[in-house]
Amino acid sequence: MISKPLRIGMVCPYGWDVPGGVQMHVRELAEHFIAQGHYVSVIAPVSDEDAITDSWLVNAGRPVPIPFNGSVARVLFGPIAASRVRQWIVQGDFDLLHMHEPGIPSISLLACWAAEGAMVGTFHASTPKMRAIASVGPLIEPMIEKLSARIAVSEMAQATLNNLYGTEAVVIPNGIDTTRFREAKGPGSVPGGLRIGFLGRFEENRKGLPLLLEALPRIIKAHPGVELVVAGPGDPARVLAKVDPQVARHVKFLGRLSEEEKVAFLASLNLYIAPNTGGESFGIILAEAMASGAPVLASNIPAFVDLLSVGDSGVTFISEDAADLARKVNDLLSNRPRLQQLAENGVEAAIRFDWGSVATQIMSVYEVAMTGHGKVAVGSENASWKKGRER
């Protein structure tokens, strides 16, 4: 399939040792291409150097926490980071650079600035705060233009990109390893009542756990045996303090899960619920739940509606409406054949997110981007990016 192995450099803008969608995407894409015989080097900010176990990972420096889009992003900037990125490009002898999220102030942007040659950028976020970015848009535009090809992970991310910089992108979804999820055991393996699940940093309001807890009393009333299982990092005590103890008895916290535990967790659910109120661009967790055969109920935010639009693979409720959420949960839990059907549709619909298809599409974009370019080089040293703009 591959005529000649490529030397690919990938840039991850967020702290590598903190779990996150972008980091996961970069890791799995890198591993997929390495398994296909390509050479891949990933550069990323790292907080704890000892935690690095992958030989293909290069440490760009210690990230700085900056509030961004409702959560805290661990990014890296500054002169030292810039020179490390530059050095990495020189030493890597790359055929192509793949920047992730080059529109945020971190090392992907620095790589864009330093490099000359075949470059691909993937845009993950969809940000509602246009004005904040719009103030620097004119400065970033020339950087974005240097990219030979742009990928957006969803229609939402594409719309954001279009609004901010007026450029188009190819939409290629985030990838998952569907075989890993399909092998997990179904809810039959867990004895007892009904399990509904939530996964995410539950203390962040935009992830929607407060909404689900608000709906929970009504769900318990209709289904007294129901158990809400919450997975993800955070402090349960702080959440449960606001909840009636009678309701809290039905809530179980699992803490942060490993990848294997996540697969088992999703497969053990009768219903997966994504009550997010916004700020999501893709919703990889929905794809994972679908792949593992958990029926999905999600808020009707654009990213989720988009993801669930194929082949009746999930149900949505009105975002931020606890009454509608409770009603939909109760309807679904009382209708076993419907749950079974959603599970089967989900597994099928999730196939389009499998790395096999996603990575092939990304490779096609690489091929387009490399046309007419030699090896990636660095631009002239010490060129001020502003002077370049004024020329």
Partner 1 sequence: MTYVALLLLVLLFMWYLSFSAARLDRLHHRVETSWEHLDALLQRRAALALEISHQTDLDPATDFLLMQSAYVSREEAIVDRNDAERSLSESLKFLRESARSGELTISVRLLDELTALTEKITLAIKIHLEAVNSVAKLRSRPIYRLFHLAGKAKLPRIYSFEEDSL
Q: List interacting residues with partner 1 (CB under 8 A).
A: 64-68, 75-82, 104-107, 109-110, 112-113, 131-133, 135-136, 139-140, 143, 384-386
Contacts of 37 (CB under 8 A, 6+ apart): 2, 5
The dihedral sign for the CA sequence 281, 285, 290, 291: positive
Q: How far is the CB of 238 from partner 1 (least distance, A)?
A: 16
Shortest separation between residue 69's beta carbon and partner 1, angstroms: 9
Which residue number, 60 or 350, has a Cβ lying nearer to partner 1? 60
Nearer to partner 1, 2 or 130 (CB): 130
* Smallest gap from residue 113 Cβ to partner 1 (A): 5
> Which amino acid is located at 250 in the chain?
H
- Closest to partner 1 by CB, 113 or 317: 113
Return the amino acid letter for 84. R
Neighbouring-strand partners of residue 161: none
Question: What tokens does 173 get?
Answer: 């979804």
Q: How far is the CB of 102 from partner 1 (least distance, A)?
A: 10
- Residue 154 beta carbon to partner 1: minimum distance, rounded to whole angstroms: 23
- Tokens representing 297 are 């109920």
- Pick the closest to residue 159 from 149, 168, 148, 150 (CA basis): 168
Identity of the residue, 135 or 258, whose beta carbon is nearer to partner 1 in the bound complex: 135
Q: Which is nearer to partner 1, 119 or 285 (CB)?
A: 119
Closest C-alpha among 17, 38, 43, 25 to residue 112: 43
CB of 109 to partner 1, least distance (A): 5
Q: How far apart are CA 348 and CA 293, in angstroms?
A: 9
Q: In terms of Cα–Cα distance, which of 141, 146, 139 is closest to 119? A: 146
We find the least distance from the C-beta atom of residue 163 to partner 1, in angstroms, to be 16
Nearer to partner 1, 81 or 298 (CB): 81
DSSP-based three-state secondary structure for 206: helix
- Least distance (Å) between residue 124 CB and partner 1: 17
Residue 204 DSSP class? S
Residues 54-65 as b/e (b if ≥16 CB within 10 A, e otherwise) read eeebbbbbebbe
Could you give the maximum distance between any two Cα atoms of the chain, in Å?
70
**Whole-angstrom Cα distance, residue 176 to residue 190?**
25
Which residue type occupies 193? G
Q: Distance (Å, rounded) from C-alpha 358 to C-alpha 350?
A: 12
CB nearer to partner 1: give 71 or 340.
71
Distance between first and last Cα of the chain: 44
Q: How far is the CB of 108 from partner 1 (least distance, A)?
A: 9
Complex with partner 1: residue 44 or 109, whichever CB lies closer = 109
Q: At what angle do helices 336-349 and 322-333 cross, to 10 degrees?
A: 100
Q: Which is nearer to partner 1, 13 or 208 (CB)?
A: 13
Residues 6+ apart with CB under 8 A from 149: 120, 121, 170, 365, 368, 369
Nearer to partner 1, 37 or 65 (CB): 65
Burial pattern 100-119, b for ≥16 Cβ within 10 A else e, equals bbbbbbbbbbbbbbbbebbb
**Least distance from C-beta 26 to partner 1, angstroms?**
18
